[in-house]
Structure formats: C-alpha cells, structure tokens
Amino acid sequence: MPNYPASGPHSHRHTLSVLVENRPGVLARVSGLFARRAFNINSLSVSPTERPDISRITVTADVDDVPLEQIIKQLNKLLHVLKIVELDADNTVDRELVLVKVAATAQTRSDILEIVQTFRVRVVDMHPESLVIEATGSGAKLDSLLSLLGDYGVIELVRSGSVALSRGPKALSEKVVGSEITGR
C-alpha cells in the first residue's frame, strides 16, 4: 500500500459519517485505522442512532483526496462497519457544542453578556469571578465566539466533536437491514 502523507498542499477537511453495529471495540478499530496511517482526527463523535443496534461515528480529518479514498476502502473492510458516507459541506447540517468558562469581573461582565446575546448563546453558570457559557453552532461560529471571549480570559473550555446529518428526508440507515447486522 502506498505511503501517503497525512496532509499535503491539497488537503482539506473531510467529514465521514460511519454507521456501525453498536458493539464494544468498533470505535477502537475505526480510530485505529486513522492512527495507523498517521492521519490526525480533528473531531470524533459517537452515539446511538434512531436504531439502538446501530451507532453513528462522525469523523472529521484534514486529508488529501487519494488517502481518503483508501481510508474509506479500508473502513468498508472492517468488521461491524455497515455504511460510510462522505458528507458534502453544501448538503450537510453540521454542529458542535462548546462549554467555555470565562473570567468575568464586575467591570467586564456586561461586555461578556453582550457577546452572549449577540451570538444567541447562553450562560449556564454564574460565579462572582467567572461565567460558563454554552454554545452550539458551526465550527466557524464557535471559533468566532471563542476569539472574542479570549480577550476576557478563557479559564477552560471543552468542545464536542462535530455532529452532522445530510439535508433532505432520507436517513443514512434506511438501507441497512437487520440481516446486515451480524458482522462480515
């Protein structure tokens, strides 16, 4: 197998939606495939779907197109992987969640609350010296919010991985039938 660099001048962010059987060890095999090829995962989110026997793994990574094709081929060979789709940014609803604790003095609190109102996010905890803010939105929106809050002193933050669905009425799991959920 060719040794492709993890990212190059033509790499860009790709989002994969991977349906897997809801079983122990599947996530380790999927993420291990990226690690063995020296690809950095930008975000990773896993949860059950509308079907309790199926989980969705949403992976975003900056890779070139050719290595991505190889990753998809290898993922398709993994036990308990049911379906893989690369999500097109133009036809995808993509969101992240961030909780950010910001230093807030009596002098800066009103400015921070103005930012909260402008971004239509919410304060979920108040302390005399800090605020915890919850925000959901696109990665770009959250980056902008964090940039502005950085001026006031971000004490700590936690950010979820990207979760994404394709637009339109069809479900990714529609074509996955019960007989496929037994491994290969």
**Tens digits of residue pLDDT in 35-57:** 888 888 999 999 999 989 999 99
Q: From the options 3.30.70.260, 3.40.50.10540, 3.40.50.1100, 3.40.630.30, give the CATH code of 12-87.
A: 3.30.70.260
**Tens digits of residue pLDDT in 106-140:** 999 999 999 999 999 999 999 999 999 999 999 99
Specify the pTM. Answer: 0.80
* Domain regions of the chain by residue span: 12-87, 93-163
Contacts of 46 (CB under 8 A, 6+ apart): 27, 55, 56, 57, 58
Residue 42: name the closest of 70, 21, 11, 77 by CA.
11
The CATH architecture one would assign to domain 93-163 is: 2-Layer Sandwich (3.30)
Q: Answer yes or no: same fold for 12-87 and 93-163.
A: yes
